[in-house]
Amino acid sequence: MLTADTIAQLQSRALASLAGVSDAASLEAFRIEFIGASGSFKTIMANLKDVPKEHKPAIGAALNQSKAAVEAAFEEKKQSLGAAASPVKDLIDVTEPGRIETQAVGRSHVLSRVRADLCEVFARMGFAVAESHELEDDDHNFVKLNIPPEHPARDPQDNFYVDRPGDVSKPRMLRSQTSTVQVRVMEAAVAKGGGKLREPIRVVAPGRVYRPDAVDATHSFMFHQIEGLYVDRGVTLVDLKTTLLQFAKAYFGADAEIRLRPSFFPFTEPSAELDMLIQLRPDQPPRWIELGGCGMVDPAVFAACGIDSEEWTGFAFGFGIERLAMGKYAIPDIRLLFENDLRFLAKI
Ligand code: DAH
């Protein structure tokens, strides 16, 4: 039977027990035993229902008072024990690792990485990076590259002209090749030398090019090329082939092989197409992959840029960056490089 006495006894037992508490663990044990959700005060509260009706208000009030007194003593004790008494769960563990798996970590697009890697490989061979306009004129895209007016590549149907050819003296177009940068770089070097080339040129020029091609697995109306130009005294085809072989081995691995197939470009003589033997997967035999064109700079191009071809010789090359990326990472379809589908990009 719950009486004022039982309540007083519980209160003094609790206060005596609290007096013996000296650390966080015993304080928590005290809390559980007396004032927790299944502590003694909660238990005797259940007996209130058996107390005769006329005593209920007094006993109930005594019980509340008693419990409040014990709780106040508990709070006081907790304060006096200080930080040492706070339950561990209230502390922030600054050493706990973050939940990285739930955060999307961004990175460069595969084409940006390939472009940067290519520039890095060529930089190790002494090539600086040059960049130039995407909006070009006929002169730089064709005329100074020795591409005559009747050449099929100059058909307005095959280029993105901004001006109608014939309407203005310098019709502008989105460049169809990065070979334009060769001309820009040679003109700038001659201007710097006061009308004469005075020092060698060694540059690569990565960038976007545009052609009105129908889009399929290997074609796009916009893609990227990396152009190379080396002009010096006594440059030969051997220098070209050695540079390309070194590049192939540096970028694709020591086993890479190259092959030059005779070809024709108006701005080089002789000209060649470059293929590389690349093993894409360990379970497949190596394959020849066509990467682009190259050759010795045609004297007509030197002349158009004000360079004396008796004194200077040079080589040039132009590769498709998407081709290189597809070769390096076994990407089957060029469209994957432009669709921005994270399911693909996250794996590359
Ligand atoms: N500009 C050529 C193209 O877009 C590629 C090329 C071929 C670049 C031979 C060169 C070169 O510099 O020497 O098809």
- Residues of the chain with pLDDT > 70, as a percent, come to 96
Task: For a ligand 1 pocket test, name from 265, 268, 297 the mutation site with the most ligand atoms within 8 angstroms of its C-beta.
Answer: 265
Beta-carbon contacts of 332 under 8 Å, excluding residues fewer than 6 positions away, are: 217, 326
In the predicted structure, residue 85 carries a pLDDT above the cut 60 = no
Ligand 1 and 317: CB distance under 6 A: yes
Say whether pLDDT at 14 is over 80.
Answer: yes
Residues 145 and 181 grouped into a single domain? yes
Residues 181 and 256 in one domain: yes
Determine if the pTM surpasses 0.75.
Answer: no
Q: Clarify whether residues 182 and 245 are in a common domain.
A: yes
Residue 167 has pLDDT above 90, yes or no: no
Q: Kindly state if the Cβ of 318 falls inside 6 Å of ligand 1.
A: yes
161 and 53 both lie in a single domain: no
Q: What confidence score (pLDDT) does residue 285 get?
A: 86
Distance in Å, CA 266 to ligand 1 centroid: 9
> Does the beta carbon of 268 sit less than 6 angstroms from any atom of ligand 1?
yes
Is the pLDDT confidence value at 84 over 70?
Answer: no
Q: How confident is the model at residue 214 (pLDDT cuts 50, 70, 90)?
A: very high
Kindly give the number of the ligand 1 atom that is closest to the alpha carbon of 319: 5
pLDDT for residue 102: 66
**Domain containing 169: what range?**
110-345
pLDDT given at position 88: 58
Tell me, yes or no, whether 100 lies in a domain. Answer: no
In CATH, what number is assigned to the domain containing residue 126?
Answer: 3.30.930.10
* 65 and 175 assigned to the same domain: no
In terms of domains, do 194 and 55 share one? Answer: no
Q: What is the dihedral of CA 241, 243, 248, 253, to 10 degrees?
A: 120
Instruction: Give the end of a domain, one of 24, 58, 90.
Output: 90
Q: Are residues 234 and 300 in the same domain?
A: yes
Residue 101: per-residue pLDDT? 64
> Does residue 302 sit within a domain?
yes
Nearest atom of ligand 1 to the alpha carbon of 182: 12
Give yes or no for residue 306 having a pLDDT over 60.
Answer: yes
Decide if 132 is inside a domain.
yes
By the 8 A CB rule, do 205 and 140 touch?
no
133 & 257 share domain: yes
Whether 282 shows a pLDDT value over 90: the answer reads: no
Is residue 34 domain-shared with residue 160, that is, in the same domain? no
Please tell me whether residues 54 and 134 are part of one structural domain. no
Whether residue 269 is found in the same domain as residue 138: yes
On whether residue 213 sits in a domain, the answer given is yes
Residue 99 lies in a domain: no
Query: What are the structure tokens assigned to 87, written together?
Result: 């339950």
On whether both 313 and 173 belong to a single domain, the answer is: yes
Q: Whose CA is nearest to atom 3 of ligand 1?
A: 177
The confidence score (pLDDT) of residue 114 equals 97
Q: pLDDT band for 262, please (50, 70, 90 cuts).
A: very high
Q: Contact 292/177 with Cβ under 8 angstroms? A: no
Q: Which of 115, 49, 106, 40 is nearest to 70 (CA)?
A: 40
Residue located via tokens 């008494």: 85
Query: What's the structural domain count of the chain?
Result: 2
Higher pLDDT, 103 or 117: 117
Determine, yes or no, domain membership for 35. yes
What integer pLDDT is reported at residue 162 of this predicted model? 94
* Residues making up the chain, counted from first to last: 348
Query: Does residue 263 surpass a pLDDT of 60?
Result: yes
| Ligand 1 in reach of 293 Cβ (< 6 A) | yes
Ligand 1, atom 4: closest residue by C-alpha: 177
Q: Name the band, by pLDDT with cuts 50, 70 and 90, for residue 156.
A: confident
Where residue 83 falls among pLDDT bands split at 50, 70, 90?
A: low
**Average of per-residue pLDDT values in the chain:** 92
Does the residue 136 lie in any domain?
yes
Task: Choose the weakest-confidence range: 117-126, 133-142, 325-334.
Answer: 325-334
